Amino acid sequence: MRIAVIGQATFGADVLKGLLAKGREIVGVFCPPDRGAKPDPLKEASLAASLPVFQPGHLKDQEAYDQMVAIKPDLAVLAFVTDIAPAKFLEVPRLGAICYHPSILPKYRGSSAINWAVINGETKTGLTIFWVDKGIDTGDILLQKEVDIFANETTGEVYFNKLYPLGVEAVIEAVDLIVQGKAPRLPQNHSLGTYDPPCDDKVAAIDWDKPGHQVFNFIRGCDPQPGATTTFRGEKVKVYNARFVEEEHQAPPGEILEINPDLGIFVAVPGGAVRLTRFRTKDLGKVKAPDFIQARQPKTGERFG
């Protein structure tokens, strides 16, 4: 089976390496144009394996379509694609295209699936390998795998510790099923489909007045990207590495209850407190609590937000 791989970054590279280790025939690799001195990891892995590499400006360009036609793939494998891949491009492979998505579809369609699952306090999420159609994450399901989200896990931890390695394995398993002629096409229940906006700086501001556990989930859901945002003395501050603390107090939300260089800064939220141990500001960069405390000299009774 002739396979085209479309993707980027280390996830795309690990998928490619996994397919090659299984002896799959890769006839071409599509990755973004170079954006610096260091090439994309997928490009590096492709060149190391002496594979044809294509870097069109956009996948919707005629150049990309012509390149796909020229390599005559049977299947396209999408492994971390952030560009828009048009139907015309993905209809070239004889069997179509499959894609990895980090949620149990049809829930959490869109580009920030893990963030919103954590923000919403979900205790489980997972991944889906689906057949690409003209919609956004709406194609028939090939396989799914579920993972737990533990109480203190951040979006980064859920992805890198669970959904990344499991996702690489799942893509390779999905290709195996296709090669064997055993790959299902299970229609999604579109009435259960959910979409959320990209989790970026536009939606990353902390509302300290929300219930404490919701504030805590929001901070860990924005960790490491885009970073939950608040202000301190009028300065924009991003916060990370939060823990929820059961604590009785009468302080207004956002007020600093305790400052401990070894433990962090404890901030009042309805029903408890959040302990913050990492901060980012424009001039300090991302620093641990002792560095932030030394640089800003916060006082108990001052407020974030």
Whether 141 and 275 map to the same domain: the answer is no
Q: Does 203 map to a domain? A: no
Whether 39 and 143 map to the same domain: the answer is yes
- Give residue-wise pLDDT tens across range 78-120: 999 999 999 999 999 999 999 999 999 999 999 999 999 999 9
Per-residue pLDDT at 235 exceeds 90: yes
Whether 235 and 268 map to the same domain: the answer is yes
Secondary structure of 187-219 in HEC code, one letter for each residue: CCCHHHCCECCCCCCCCCECCCCCCHHHHHHHH
> Which of 159, 192, 225 delimits the end of a domain?
192
**Domain that residue 37 falls in:** 2-192
**Mean pLDDT, to the nearest integer, of 285-298?**
98
Whether 174 and 242 map to the same domain: the answer is no
**Mean pLDDT, to the nearest integer, of 9-20?**
98
Q: Are 220 and 152 in contact (CB under 8 A)?
A: yes
> Which of 192, 222, 246 delimits the end of a domain?
192
Whether 150 and 259 map to the same domain: the answer is no
Determine the residue type at 219: I
Q: Are 229 and 235 in contact (CB under 8 A)?
A: no
* Structure confidence at residue 49 as a pLDDT band (50, 70, 90): very high
Per-residue pLDDT at 42 exceeds 90: yes
Q: Which pLDDT does position 36 carry in this prediction?
A: 86
**Mean pLDDT, to the nearest integer, of 196-222?**
98
- What DSSP character marks residue 150? -
**Mean pLDDT, to the nearest integer, of 53-71?**
98
Whether 51 and 90 map to the same domain: the answer is yes
H or E element in which residue 44 lies: helix 41-48
Q: Does 204 map to a domain? A: no
Whether 150 and 226 map to the same domain: the answer is no
Whether 86 and 52 map to the same domain: the answer is yes
**Residue 182 CB coordination number (10 Å):** 8
What's 265's domain CATH number?
3.10.25.10
Q: Does 202 map to a domain? A: no
What's 61's domain CATH number?
3.40.50.170
Whether 65 and 167 map to the same domain: the answer is yes
- Give residue-wise pLDDT tens across range 256-290: 999 999 999 999 999 999 999 999 999 999 999 99
Task: Determine the 3-state secondary structure of 156 from DSSP.
Answer: helix
Whether 131 and 168 map to the same domain: the answer is yes
Q: Tell whether the torsion through CA atoms of 249, 250, 256 and 259 is positive or negative.
A: negative
Q: Does 223 map to a domain? A: yes
Domain count for the chain: 2
Whether 171 and 257 map to the same domain: the answer is no
The rounded distance, in Å, linking the Cα atoms of 267 and 254 is 6
- Give residue-wise pLDDT tens across range 192-207: 999 999 999 999 999 9
Whether 32 and 181 map to the same domain: the answer is yes
- Give residue-wise pLDDT tens across range 124-160: 999 999 999 999 999 999 999 999 999 999 999 999 9
Nearest of 3, 15, 1 to residue 167 by alpha carbon? 15
Query: In whole numbers, what is the pLDDT of the chain averaged over residues?
Result: 97
Q: Does 289 map to a domain? A: yes
Q: Does 302 map to a domain? A: no
Per-residue pLDDT at 37 exceeds 90: no
